């Protein structure tokens, strides 16, 4: 398995959503050579937060800083990242969670106040990324675990059109649904 397959296992999911729905603004937690250029190509505004490495932040910043629709921020403090996001009033069409393992679940919980579509990467590792602490019983929200490619990608959404789209892909993408009644 090459790096593109490991680090980009979410790409087919993101491409499908970006091709199917009008996604103008994206918040990305965890930058990368697979997700960031895809977002820049498809959205009017991309805000990327790098949580793990100043060196990686500089690489991504240097690679994409000339893009008019790109803003990147460095936030190496887990507490600061969560605190700043929880205080934000800004909304996005899609939020992608692929940053620090200790912030992913909490950022996903907070993201429900900022979007109707949350895409989470590496969701097969429940305890390591603390996915078991995501409020999957949030009324109106549904968790779709996509197991077609490893590492897994999941979508947490309250958007009816996105839910119907994912239901239509259940067999093709090996999707399991978690619905709290």
SS3 string, the chain, reads CCHHHHHCCCHHHHHHHHHHCCCCEEEEECCCCCHHHHHHHHCCEEEEEECCCHHHHHHHHHHHCCCCCEEEEECCCHHHHHHHHHHCCCCCCEEEECCCCCCHHHHHHHHCCCCCEEEEECCCCCCCCCHHHCCCCCCCCEEEEECCCCCCEEEEECCHHHHHHHHHCHHHHCEEEECCC
Confirm if 121 and 134 have CB atoms less than 8 A apart.
no
pLDDT digits (tens, 9 = 90+) for 123-167: 998 889 999 999 999 999 999 999 888 889 999 999 999 999 999
pTM: 0.94
Per the CATH hierarchy, to which homologous superfamily does domain 3-178 belong? Vaccinia Virus protein VP39 (3.40.50.150)
CB count in 10 Å sphere of residue 114: 17
CA distance 42 to 36: 10
pLDDT digits (tens, 9 = 90+) for 43-102: 999 999 999 999 999 999 999 999 999 999 999 999 999 999 999 999 999 999 999 999
pLDDT digits (tens, 9 = 90+) for 18-32: 999 999 999 999 999
Distance from the Cα of residue 93 to its chain's centroid: 11
Is the pLDDT at 5 greater than 70? The verdict is no
4 pLDDT band (50/70/90 cuts)? low
CA distance 130 to 111: 15
Which phi and psi (to 5°) does residue 34 adopt? Answer: -95, -50
The per-residue pLDDT for 181 is 46
- Closest-CA residue to 115 (of 89, 133, 79): 89
Residue identified by tokens 């887990």 is 78
């Amino acid at each position: 398995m090459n790096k593109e397959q490991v680090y980009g296992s979410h790409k087919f999911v993101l491409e499908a959503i970006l091709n199917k729905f009008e996604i103008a603004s994206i918040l990305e937690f965890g930058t990368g050579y697979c997700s960031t250029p895809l977002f820049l190509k498809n959205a009017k505004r991309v805000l990327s937060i790098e949580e793990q490495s100043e060196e990686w932040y500089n690489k991504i910043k240097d690679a994409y800083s000339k893009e008019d629709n790109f803003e990147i921020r460095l936030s190496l403090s887990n507490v600061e990242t969560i605190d700043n996001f929880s205080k934000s009033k800004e909304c996005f069409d899609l939020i992608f969670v692929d940053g620090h393992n200790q912030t992913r679940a909490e950022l996903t919980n907070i993201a429900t106040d900022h979007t109707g579509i949350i895409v989470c990467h590496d969701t097969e590792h429940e305890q390591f990324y603390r996915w078991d602490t995501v409020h999957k019983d949030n009324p109106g929200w549904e968790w779709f675990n996509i197991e077609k490619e490893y590492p897994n990608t999941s979508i947490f959404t309250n958007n009816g059109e996105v839910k119907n789209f994912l239901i239509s892909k259940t067999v093709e993408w090996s999707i399991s649904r978690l619905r709290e009644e």
